[in-house]
Amino acid sequence: MTSPLPASYSRISGTGSFLPPQRVTNADLAAQLGAKGVETSDDWIVARTGIRARHFAAPDMPCSDLAVEASRQALASAGIDASQIDLIILATSTPDMVFPSTACIVQRKLGIQGCAAFDVQAVCSGFVYALTVADSMIRTGAARKALVIGAEVFSRILDFTDRTTCVLFGDGAGAVVLEASDTPGLLATELHADGRYAEILCTPGAMSGGQVMGLPFLKMDGQAVFKLAVGVLEDVARSVLDKAGRTEADIDWLIPHQANIRIMHGTAKKLKLSLDKLVVTVDEHGNTSAASIPLALDVAVRAGSVKRGDTVMLEGVGGGFTWGAVLLDF
């Protein structure tokens, strides 16, 4: 394989997404939890999160299956064949196995051989991290056409006796094709992490000696996450705007990580953006972690909301504690 030439810019040429067929409403979940003696309701969940439903993958549907379906849609949207892809980066916290990477499994399922393929683990910021890495690799000439994916099966790591966490998350996948371009696409990116806050959102279990050591379920300090999230999302958004020489008034669409409608509204208001410019899918998808941003982007593109030429702000925040943003002209 010959080395690609460096590119001035990278640009999203196609988007795709996939949700498992099983849609679980708040009423469905309340009935399931009630059978275990855990009390919740549609009103309680909606008031605190804005979530009304989510999708759960079947037990025999691994993360890679969701990623492949989203990728096929993105490839079709971009009008290219899978064989033209020379880089695959997959953001996930729920991989198919300890190793190899889920990206390599997706590569095999798409019938691609030879190109670099690897996972990125930055939890709910994962897609922003993956997109930033792909942008850098394209600009340096390491790739020309990248498949960047966020895919999760968070239902596998939820404690269904803990109503403060199990009502929040869902499964899904989103993907984009990022291509070398002579015209600006990704305008500015920025990534951050602060490991001092690792314990406020984590799944602390680990494999050792054939057994799971520690707790294999997601644990979260909701108040601590909320407090940190709103502040860092505003700061990183303003930073990428400054890098790109743009202002809040230039943003046509804000697509934040779909975690909680109150965090999303708070971020939009701090950026002085009308809520009409906020893409919201958390009500139907729940929090799909690394999949949430590309999922929401694809929904908005296919609905005709996000159009070519629009300026879009993508923002992620999640366990690590990690956060980041991408400003792009779509």
Q: In this structure, are 230 and 277 located in the same domain?
A: yes
Domain boundary, last residue among 135, 160, 181: 181
Residue 113 domain flag: yes
With vertex at residue 102, the alpha carbon angle to CA 187 and CA 329, rounded to the nearest 5 degrees, is 15
Q: In this structure, are 208 and 142 located in the same domain?
A: no
- Secondary element (H or E) of residue 49: helix 42-49
Predicted confidence pLDDT, tens digits, the chain (330 residues)? 456 678 889 999 999 999 999 999 999 999 999 999 999 999 999 999 999 999 999 999 999 999 999 999 999 999 999 999 999 999 999 999 999 999 999 999 999 999 999 999 999 999 999 999 999 999 999 999 999 999 999 999 999 999 999 999 999 999 999 999 999 999 999 999 999 999 999 999 999 999 999 999 999 999 999 999 999 999 999 999 999 999 999 999 999 999 999 999 999 999 999 999 999 999 999 999 999 999 999 999 999 999 999 999 999 999 999 999 999 999
The yes-or-no answer on residue 104 being catalytic is: no
Q: In this structure, are 146 and 46 located in the same domain?
A: yes
With vertex at residue 132, the alpha carbon angle to CA 305 and CA 97, rounded to the nearest 5 degrees, is 100
Q: In this structure, are 26 and 149 located in the same domain?
A: yes
Residue 3 domain flag: no
Q: In this structure, are 160 and 14 located in the same domain?
A: yes
Q: In this structure, are 177 and 278 located in the same domain?
A: no
- Which of 26, 166, 260, 287 is the catalytic position? 287
Quote the number of domains for the chain.
2
Q: What pLDDT was estimated at residue 5?
A: 72
Q: Decide: 144 and 180 in contact? Cβ < 8 Å.
A: yes
Q: What pLDDT was estimated at residue 98?
A: 96
The length of the chain is 330
- What CA–CA distance (Å, rounded) separates 166 from 50? 14
| Beta strands 206-208; 211-213: pairing state | antiparallel
- Which of 104, 124, 166, 202 is the catalytic position? 124
Residue 83 domain flag: yes
The yes-or-no answer on residue 202 being catalytic is: no
- Which of 55, 63, 257, 285 is the catalytic position? 257
CATH (domain of 268): 3.40.47.10
Q: In this structure, are 122 and 199 located in the same domain?
A: no
Q: In this structure, are 282 and 313 located in the same domain?
A: yes
Q: In this structure, are 194 and 161 located in the same domain?
A: no
307 phi and psi angles, rounded to 5 deg? -125, 165
Q: What pLDDT was estimated at residue 3?
A: 61
Number of H-type helices and E-type strands within the chain: 10, 15
Q: In this structure, are 204 and 67 located in the same domain?
A: no
Q: In this structure, are 175 and 195 located in the same domain?
A: no
Sign of CA dihedral 42, 48, 50, 51: negative
Residue 208 domain flag: yes
Residue 2 domain flag: no
Residue 137 domain flag: yes
Q: Decide: 48 and 327 in contact? Cβ < 8 Å.
A: no
Residue 72 domain flag: yes
Domain boundary, last residue among 181, 213, 242: 181
The yes-or-no answer on residue 257 being catalytic is: yes
Domain boundary, last residue among 143, 161, 181: 181
Residue 36 domain flag: yes
- Secondary element (H or E) of residue 87: strand 87-91
Distances (CA, A) of 33 to 39, 60, 171, 175, 283: 7, 22, 18, 32, 20
Q: In this structure, are 63 and 174 located in the same domain?
A: yes
The boundaries of the domain holding residue 304 are: 186-329
